[in-house]
Amino acid sequence: MYVENIVIGKPIVEPEIIFGRDYEDWEKVEKEKTIYTEERFLPKILVAVGIAPSISEIRRNRKDLVKTLEILNYLEIKYGKRKLFILIGN
């Protein structure tokens, strides 16, 4: 499975509004590329979805990504050739 969208916690905006152009795009394309998690430590998420090989690799090469995602936010992260869209909720 190719993960592109990550929803953390319970966002205040519906993921289909953020990730899809319209409801049809959400249902046919974006929904299958979206995962939901309660994990907030970004390196652990990147390893879990297969983007990064290990947390120590992220600590060595991308210190800017070693953080805990606590506040409501929307992030776009590029790691290598992969782009990741993250919606952070409560």
For residue range 36-62, what is the model confidence (pLDDT) as tens digits? 999 999 999 999 998 999 999 999 999
Percent of the chain with pLDDT over 90: 67
Bridging pattern class, strands 82-88 and 5-8: parallel
Model pLDDT, residue 87 = 95
Model pLDDT, residue 1 = 57
What distances in angstroms separate CA 15 from CA 32, 67, 72, one per listed residue? 12, 22, 13
Threshold 0.95, pTM exceeds: no
**Residue 2 — pLDDT band, cuts 50, 70, 90?**
confident
The pLDDT of residue 64 is above 80: yes
Q: What is residue 36's three-state secondary structure?
A: strand
Model pLDDT, residue 3 = 79
